[in-house]
Structure 1
Amino acid sequence: MSAPFGGALEAGRRVPWQALSAVAVVAGVAGLGVRHWPVLDAGADRLVVADREWLLLAGLCALLTWVCAAITVQGSVREALPVRRVVAVQFAASAANHVLPAGLGAGAVNLRFLMRCGLAPGRAATALAVRSTAGAVVRGALIAVLAVASPGVLRLPSVGRMPLLLGLAGAVAVGCVAVPLARRTRVRRWLACTVADVRGVHENPRRAAALWGGSLMFAAMHTAVVIALVRALDLPVPAGRVALAYLAASSAAVLLPTPGGLGSLDAALAWTLTAAGAPAAASVSVVIGYRLLTVWLPLVPGLLVLVGLVRQKSL
């Protein structure tokens, strides 16, 4: 069994625990929502009287996030993908991502789509891994730049270099021991194919630009949604601080396996916006607006598109 399939089986065994974690977090968020309903109700009321032009801009940026996601998928493979279909798949994948925990929905939809386009399962999984890595690198670089430009917004605990290096070395050692000798040859072959695919993508300037430029624009469009909502509510918070607050919150939310970061992203975003200088009640309004534009309003249409793509055998 190849390494990608082995990883898929291991992920499958962990799904029940991830599902239980997701249910626990969602239940906790629901309990907090009931307890603090007056704050949520006031936050929704603020959105009703918010600036319409900024709200429209936020909605446009939300729509562009799916276009940017499609660009990153195209940039992760050497083959040309059907443009309209890959955009539709990203719209459907975002809906699936809010149903299953830890990004399993979007990953499964994109994996199936790439396989339908003729890629072998291993190559399709590699493409998604390359795409995720590029997104994480871009997000980390943006956080680093914004943290320098807006000092004091993030206060992270200091970590010594030696413990970090020892931890990385230990992880590598454990990984080497954990791989059975019989599978090491297959792992080496899989790594060789992975390196060849990554090299092939980056040898094509258009594909490399789509991968990295699309990842940058994807993060920028999600950030722009939050900035536009802050402006719609007339909050006196600089755009750089808002961007840093969103990027930090979305990165931290990945640590909890909830569907679409439900609960984890909401709490982290509200906290980071408050730390950036926004009033706590107004931060709740921003979170509500962000969720409406990126999750709740497109959820049903996205699921309908998903059903249509399955019926057309595009997935």
Structure 2
Amino acid sequence: MSLLPLDGPATPLPRADDRPPCPVPPPAAARGPLDAVVVRRVLSLLPLLALAVWAALDRHAVYEGAARLTAADPWWLLAGLVFTGLGWVAAACVRQGALPDRLPKGALVASQVAAGAANHLLPASIGAHAVTVRFLTRQGVPLPRATASIALYSLVRAVAKTPLILAFVLVAPAALPPPRLLPDGRTLFLIAAGVLLAPAAATVVLLLLRRLRRPARDFVRTALTDARHLHTRPSRFLPLWGGAMAAPLLQACVVASVGSALGVPLTWPQMVFAFLAAGTAAGAVPAPGGIGPVDAALVLILAGYGSPLALATATVIGYRVLTVWVPLLPGMLVLSALVQRRML
């Protein structure tokens, strides 16, 4: 019986040597991992390069501050460094309190050391928030929740200064600045009007949120849900608000320590309140780490208290040296180490 088709001759099968060669899969790129290592090392060196460039551009301030601090009391300066280090712990407490997820304590504090260094390179805390979001996502926190924690962190840090100032007004009225530095009646009226109109403004914002697109609505819903859940857990809202109120107090203690080291004729409550008032008045200006407007306001308030202008200026320069320049190099090294370990 024939197996040939009925409608024509059979097509001959191709021989083995006539078949097209089977495509061989290309070998894995041998340089892929090597390229990744090179890129990671370059990224880890970029913060150090930025540090060198910034130091070259602002070398006059560094030299002047270091020259004035050479004659200061070293023990008070050491106390200022201790308060600076405690500020990283306070920031880590606020970060943990703004998240339901549990984070490793040591890595969280290290991330805040790195975030503090990045905070002085970009305005409006963008660098610190970017480092923190990257760290949180590396720890398995979803991006919407990490972003919502940044919003809650910023809100709590801004609101926490108000009870501190009110506490100074009630507990230590002698620490208030002279009457010529206090706001006039018109300014107080505007502040009171803003406080009274805040609920109405919040209502308008909530009504506008209903018209947002779905991603924005999801973000707002996640932020509100997490904030409500966190405030039902003492292990979260206590470090959240406690750290938020401790952070500006620790920074103010750095100013007071530098002032005591230089012999500023002011009391500690006066220097602490001067920093809180300067940070509240000029902290909204989007400058890298608040450098610039906060410094000018702090010099004016210290001089208004009766401190000599030269000492007030030297105090602010010393405060920036202890909170910016001294921690910047270890902060950049920690940032590079976290990049190398793929935690950022």
TM-score bracket, normalised by the shorter chain, equals 0.7 to 0.9
Query: What is the alpha-carbon distance in structure 1 between the residues aligned to residue 207 and residue 135 of structure 2?
Result: 32
Report deviation, 1:194: 2.0
How is 1:140-179 mapped onto 2 (pairs within 5 angstroms)? Answer: 140-148=162-170, 149=173, 150-153=175-178, 154-156=181-183, 157-160=187-190, 161-162=192-193, 169=200, 173=204, 176=207
Tell me what 1:15 maps to.
none
Query: What is the alpha-carbon distance in structure 1 between the residues aligned to residue 193 and residue 291 of structure 2?
Result: 35
Compare CA radii of gyration and give the structure with the larger one.
2
How is 1:64-103 mapped onto 2 (pairs within 5 angstroms)? Answer: 64-103=86-125
**Unaligned 5+ runs, structure 2:** 1-53
Query: What is the alpha-carbon distance in structure 1 between the residues aligned to residue 231 and residue 199 of structure 2?
Result: 27
Matched residue type, 1:116: R
Partner residue of 1:242 out of 264, 271, 274: 271
Partner residue of 1:253 out of 282, 288, 295: 282
Q: Deviations over 1:163-191 (max 9, x none)?
A: 775687578648855x68462x6555443
Tell me what 2:308 maps to.
279
Q: Deviations over 1:225-247 (max 9, x none)?
A: 11111111222212111111101
Equivalent pairs counted in the alignment come to: 279
**Unaligned 5+ runs, structure 1:** 1-25
Matched residue type, 2:182: R
Tell me what 2:322 maps to.
293
Report deviation, 1:222: 0.8
Report deviation, 1:255: 2.3
Identity, % of aligned positions: 38
How is 1:74-223 mapped onto 2 (pairs within 5 angstroms)? Answer: 74-148=96-170, 149=173, 150-153=175-178, 154-156=181-183, 157-160=187-190, 161-162=192-193, 169=200, 173=204, 176=207, 181=211, 183=213, 187-223=216-252
8 Å CA contact 1:102, 1:254 repeated in 2:
no
Tell me what 1:268 maps to.
297
Query: What is the alpha-carbon distance in structure 2 between the residues aligned to residue 226 and residue 163 of structure 1?
Result: 30
Q: 1:182 to 1:155 in 2, by over 3 A?
A: closer
Segment of structure 1 superposing worse, 192-201 or 95-104: 192-201
8 Å CA contact 1:44, 1:285 repeated in 2:
no
Segment of structure 1 superposing worse, 168-177 or 112-121: 168-177
8 Å CA contact 1:62, 1:225 repeated in 2:
yes
8 Å CA contact 2:177, 2:270 repeated in 1:
no
Q: Deviations over 1:244-265 (max 9, x none)?
A: 1101112233222111122222
Query: What is the alpha-carbon distance in structure 2 between the residues aligned to residue 313 and residue 242 of structure 1?
Result: 41
Q: Deviations over 1:255-314 (max 9, x none)?
A: 221111222222111112112222111011111111111101221221221122122111
